[in-house]
Amino acid sequence: MAHSLKLIAAAAAALLALSPLALRAQAAKPALYTADQATAGVTVYTQACAACHGAALEGVSAPALKGAAFGEMATAQNLTVDSLLDVIASSMPQSDPGSLKPEEVGAVTAYILQQNSYPAGTAALARGGAGLKDVKVTP
Ligand code: HEC
């Protein structure tokens, strides 16, 4: 009896110790842009994107760029951070495609990632960056 109680206590302790780690692993999104980029991206977004996609990325005449609807679109298109950068660089703003400078593409994409709970890090986001094809975009 004492033995099995000890086992139960040990198992409970192990579970308690493990669960925060497991939760963190599940929620972890990679850090792909700098905080400065996301800040610069607010300006780009407000000037070049908000009229169609909404001030809070909620979608107006154009689709939402965060939240569940964005997630569905991203899944349907198998959207990665690499293809997100490409689509923005080559087809947005829809009213003037290709008009953004490369640093504006990086900044506005950083802002969209930030709004979808990706953390800021130390390396700047740029089109064609290594490994970005392997990172799926999720809300
Ligand atoms: C004149 C309106 C308009 C503006 C301005 C605009 N968009 Fe869009 N955008 C659209 C429409 C409409 C769609 C959906 C149709 C499509 O995919 O072409 C879209 C789709 C998108 C998509 C999803 C693309 C896909 O693969 O389906 C992204 C990402 C996006 N826009 C980002 C941006 C960003 C970033 C900006 C600002 C630099 C911007 N858009 C400015 C109208 C606009």
3-state secondary structure of 134: helix
Residues 77-97 have pLDDT tens digits of 999 999 999 999 999 999 999
Residues 15-27 have pLDDT tens digits of 555 555 444 444 5
CA of 31 to the centre of ligand 1 (A): 24
110 Cβ inside 6 Å of ligand 1: no
4 belongs to a structural domain? no
For 63, the domain range is: 29-134
19 belongs to a structural domain? no
Which atom in ligand 1 lies closest to the alpha carbon of residue 73?
Answer: 27
Helices 35-48, 102-115: crossing angle, 10 deg rounding:
100
81 Cβ inside 6 Å of ligand 1: no
What confidence category does residue 11 fall into, taking pLDDT thresholds of 50, 70 and 90?
A: low
- Pick the closest to residue 32 from 117, 139, 89 (CA basis): 117
90 Cβ inside 6 Å of ligand 1: no
| CATH number (domain holding residue 92) | 1.10.760.10
60 Cβ inside 6 Å of ligand 1: no
